[in-house]
Chains A and B, each alone.
Chain A
Amino acid sequence: SQQGEEDPQALSIQEGENATMNCSYKTSINNLQWYRQNSGRGLVHLILIRSNEREKHSGRLRVTLDTSKKSSSLLITASRAADTASYFCATGGMVGSYIPTFGRGTSLIVHP
C-alpha cells in the first residue's frame, strides 16, 4: 500500500509554538498532499508538493518532501488556537492508481 502514515498520532502544544507533523509512505509517488479537518467538517486541502519538489511554503505552513526517505513533514509556525484540527497526508501514486490515499491523521491541539 502507498498509504501515508502520519506521526505523531496526537500533538499538544501551546499557542505560539511550532508544530511539526510527519508522513511516511512506502512506494514511489507522483505528489503528496496535506489536508486539514476541523471537528465535524470535511477535509480541506492545504498544500500539494510534487515528487520533484523539496520544499513548499504557504503562509505559516512549510512542507518538505524527501523522496529518498519516502517521508514528508508539515510545519506550522507560530501556532494559534484556531489551528486545532486533524491533519492528513495523502499520497498520489505514480504507477497504477493515481488516486491519493489518506493516512490516519495527526490530531493537533493548540492551547491558548
Chain B
Amino acid sequence: DAGVIQSPRHEVTEMGQEVTLRCKPISGHDYLFWYRQTMMRGLELLIYFNNNVPIDDSGMPEDRFSAKMPNASFSTLKIQPSEPRDSAVYFCASTGNRDQPQHFGDGTRLSIL
C-alpha cells in the first residue's frame, strides 16, 4: 500500500502566483479530505469529497481557493492568487468510510513570499 501521496512536498512562491497542490488517495478509498495546518489555527478541514463529488466546502477560506477531484485517484487544491497568509502545511487524507480512521499524506509545506 503506497499510502496517500502529495506533491510537491515544499513550495515557495511569490504573492499573486497560482499554486496547485496535488494528492493521490489510497486506492479504493471513497472519501478525500483537504486540511490546512498552522500554529495559530491548528488543523482545519477545508473541503472533502465522496466518490469524487465535493460534499462540504464550508471550510474553504475564500474564493481564491478551489478544489477538484476529476477521478478517484487524483485531486487538486488550487490557490489563485496566493497571499502570504496562505502559508501553511496542507494535508490530504483519505478513508473508506466517513467516520473511520483517515490516512494522511506527508503534506505540502507552502510558503508565500
**Total contacts A to B, CB within 8 angstroms?**
46
CB distance B98 to A42 under 8 Å?
no
Residues of A within 8 Å of B56, CB to CB, are 97, 99
Please judge, given known A-B contacts A42-B105, A92-B99, whether A99 and B48 are in contact too, CB under 8 Å.
yes
> B39 → chain A, closest Cβ, in Å?
9
Closest Cβ of chain A to B57, distance in Å, is 13
Interface residues of B in 59-111 (CB under 8 A from A): 91, 93, 98-107
User: Cβ of A87 < 8 Å from any Cβ of B?
Assistant: no
Asked if A105 and B99 make an inter-chain contact with CB atoms under 8 angstroms apart, the answer reads: no
Instruction: Indicate if the CB atoms of A42 and B100 lie closer than 8 Å.
Output: no
Q: Which residues of A contact B103 (CB under 8 A)?
A: 45
Known A42-B106, A97-B56; contact A48-B100, beta-carbon cutoff 8 A: yes
- Tell me, yes or no, whether A104 is within 8 Å of chain B by CB: yes
The complex places the Cα of A75 from the Cα of B24 at a distance, in Å, of: 33
- C-alpha gap A4/B45 in the complex (Å): 14
Note all chain A residues with C-beta closer than 8 A to B45. Answer: 99, 101-102
Q: Which residue of A42, A103, A105 contacts B104 across the interface (Cβ within 8 Å)?
A: A42
Q: A43-B104, A92-B99, A99-B33 are in contact. List 8 more A-B contacts (CB 8 A).
A: A42-B91, A42-B105, A43-B43, A43-B91, A100-B99, A100-B102, A101-B45, A105-B42
